[in-house]
Amino acid sequence: MVLLKRWLRRGVLLGLVAIILGGGPVAQAASKTVTKVPARAAYVMDAQSGQVLYQQNADKRYPIASLSKLLTVYLTVKAINDGKIKWTDQVPISRDLLKLSHSYAYSSLRMKKGETFTVKQMVAAAMIASSNSAATALGEYVAGSNAKFIALMNQQSKDWGLEAHFISSSGLDNTDLKDYNLVLPGTGKKEENLVSAKAITTVAQHLIQADPSIVQISGKKEDKINGTQIYNENMCLKGQSHYDKATNIDGLKTGFTENAKLCFTATYTVNGQRMIATILGGDTTFSAMNKLIKQLKKQYQLATTTLNDRRITLANGLSTTVWAQPTSSQAGVWYQDQAAGLTTTVETKLSPAQMSSGTVNAGDPVAQATVTDTKTGKQQAITYRSQQSVTLFADRVIFNEQTQPDPLLQTLVQPMATAFQ
């Protein structure tokens, strides 16, 4: 299978793609009905709450091409957040990946022998230019080998309960990978990544939560890596051929192979609320994405409540409090026919580790705000994080190496402990 990696390049091919994809932005539909998306599958969700606004064959696995890189980048960001690697680390590039980077069909960033790239540069190359060499190099660096990283991808999918099966970190299938010694042992000659629309949208949600700046990275129309110009294949970004002011798509990732067809996971905001939409296996996917988003904006309304910094009492009977900041400045619920009725509750929630040590560090989660729509029962949970480090009580000495829960502390925080049961 030939991967058309330069199908959206500047020049002659751009005009051809515009014809194939059905021209410019589609006008808003007069009806509030959401028409079926002309593709294999689709899924739209609120990135913060997970509330689903649209689904079509959402749980069926399909080829997703380079949307696979969303999980590769998530696992890279996770390794950074866990302190295992750093953004500034140099990523080794094997001889096979150098060869892959020189392929006209499969490459969007040509790499030179002896050239060095940081993790940050490789993430940018994978997200903006969909570089297969960059994505594979990240996987090998994070897990130690290509095979170990694929196992990590599948384990993460299993942990999240996703309908997904991965055989590559880039989205290339085995017919493409065979020439670069990247075929996973035990997989078929034509095997490929198979992932549902719901699953890859969920991956995108986790990625944005792990690193919100990924939206800004993926929203760049072009960039330079070590002096080499790279271009974004997302034609719905501002300034691109399918940008629509009414949808204002600002990220996230595209993918295309002859078998997967055009796949697209997009991010956009409505009244400050971050949304994620995926369409798999279409021919007019950019136009279809704009149309889908505009129809949903007509069908649904958003009710929001503002969340501010607040003082959190850490334990019953103790005077220790901290100023805490919500991870989002608002929470929202989508409704159709009946207006939402929002209520907000905030509960202290300390982890077993915090209870055991008797300490709370700056940045630790200490509470949860739950916004509930009393009309539908839909909820959104927002975490509050401490803005300072404190001990849970001032008149007792706390040793960080303590392994057994303090009896007094355990008694005082028993009401909160039940929240974890």
Give catalytic residue positions: 66, 69, 130
CA distances to 31, 46, 63 from 126, rounded to whole Å, are 39, 24, 18
Contact predicate 218/234, CB 8 Å:
yes
State CA 396 to chain mean position distance.
43
| Angle formed by the axes of helices 132-143 and 146-160, nearest 10° | 80
Q: Is the dihedral of CA 234, 235, 236, 240 positive or negative?
A: positive
Own/partner pairs, 391-395, CB within 8 angstroms, 24+ separation:
391/320, 391/358, 391/359, 391/360, 392/314, 392/315, 392/318, 392/320, 392/354, 392/358, 392/359, 392/360, 393/315, 393/318, 393/320, 393/358, 394/320
Tokens of 192: 């490929």
* Residue 36: partners with Cβ closer than 8 Å, 6 or more residues away: 56
Which DSSP string corresponds to 65-83? GGGGHHHHHHHHHHHHHTT
Tokens of 349: 């929630």
Residues 30-46: b if buried by 16+ CB within 10 A, e if exposed: eeeebeebbbbbbbbbb
CA nearest 370: which of 378, 360, 357, 379?
A: 379
Alpha helix ranges (H) inside 247-377: 285-299, 352-357
